[in-house]
């Protein structure tokens, strides 16, 4: 079960009072209590341009993937059948993969890695991994789970469809757990191809209030999965 870090010393502003395409607030810290308060308020941290300064964002519209609207192509369905999906089996490796500085637009620095690592230790931040039949990590994603909300933060892949397979596995588990909201922050062409849609910020915040009031999802409240064993060479 997740451990409550207590209240944040910061008061989160209402996103409804902020701009649609700019930061809602500046400053604060990345303590677990602050991050959790931000997600509950509909905010998330992102850098300002290419600098090292971070701000708190809540875009309007907001990108979400409806849990009954994930698009799985035939080729992706075949990839799913060739992989094993786990939860929290390789959190540090997934976080490092998402933070690889060689990735275009990479923004996850040491400060962010440390902050979400602390959230993981407290049971709030989780990874989902996709493994090949030979036991190699094909890709994964990580995000924050609060009640019936999963706030996706980043994904990466080492093999074709690795991150997509992890997303399919995540959605399957969210459905089974009765989750109600999968947040992806902004939609992109890649995410729209998988079913992501834009929703008005006010509608997102209404759905968020319902989601975070729900009990923790069983998928993320139990012990971590074990990586699948590497198969011997043929």
Number of other CB atoms surrounding residue 8 within 10 Å = 19
The domain over range 63-221 is classified in CATH as 2.60.40.60: no
Any residues with CB less than 8 A from the CB of 155 and at least 6 apart, and which?
98, 139, 140, 141, 142, 163, 166, 167
Looking at every residue in the chain, the average pLDDT score rounds to: 94
What pLDDT does residue 105 have? 65
Sequence-ordered list of residues with C-beta below 8 angstroms from that of 215, at least 6 positions apart, any chain: 147
Q: pLDDT tens across 77-116, in order?
A: 999 999 999 999 999 999 999 998 877 667 889 999 999 9
pLDDT (mean) for 190-219: 97
Q: Note the pLDDT tens digit of each residue in 212-229.
A: 999 999 999 989 999 988
Taking the C-alpha atoms of residue 69 and residue 90, their distance in angstroms, rounded to an integer, is: 28
Question: Tens of pLDDT along 157-182?
Answer: 999 999 999 999 999 999 999 999 99
**pLDDT category, 230, cuts 50, 70, 90?**
low
Q: How far apart are alpha carbons 66 and 89 in whole angstroms?
A: 26
Over residues 40-45, the mean pLDDT reads 97
Phi, psi at residue 125, to the nearest 5°? -110, 135
Asked whether the predicted pLDDT for residue 51 surpasses 80, the reply is no
Q: What is the reported pLDDT for 7?
A: 96
Residue 234 has pLDDT above 60, yes or no: no
What number of CA atoms fall less than 13 Å from residue 221's CA on the CB side?
Answer: 10
Distance CA 21, CA 194 (A): 23
Q: Where along the chain do its domains lie?
A: 15-59, 63-221
């Amino acid at each position: 079960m997740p451990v409550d870090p207590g209240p944040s010393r910061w008061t989160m502003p209402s996103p409804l009072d902020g701009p649609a395409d700019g930061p809602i607030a500046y400053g604060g810290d990345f303590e677990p209590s602050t991050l959790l308060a931000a997600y509950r308020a509909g905010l998330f941290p992102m850098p300002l341009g290419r600098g090292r300064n971070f701000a708190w964002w809540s875009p309007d519209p907001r990108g979400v993937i409806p849990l009954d609207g994930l698009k799985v192509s035939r080729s992706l369905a075949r990839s799913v059948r060739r992989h094993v999906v786990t939860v929290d089996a390789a959190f540090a490796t997934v976080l490092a993969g998402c933070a690889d500085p060689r990735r275009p637009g990479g923004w996850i620095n040491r400060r962010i890695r440390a902050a979400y690592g602390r959230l993981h230790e407290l049971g709030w931040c989780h990874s989902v991994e996709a493994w090949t039949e030979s036991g190699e990590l094909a890709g994964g994603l990580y995000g924050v789970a609060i009640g019936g909300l999963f706030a996706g933060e980043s994904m990466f892949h080492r093999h074709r469809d690795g991150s997509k397979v992890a997303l399919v596995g995540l959605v399957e588990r969210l459905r089974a757990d009765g989750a109600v909201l999968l947040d992806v922050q902004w939609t992109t062409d890649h995410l729209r191809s998988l079913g992501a849609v834009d929703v008005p910020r006010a509608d997102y915040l209404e759905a968020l209030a319902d989601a975070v009031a729900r009990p923790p999802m069983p998928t993320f409240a139990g012990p971590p999965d074990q990586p699948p064993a590497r198969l011997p060479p043929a």
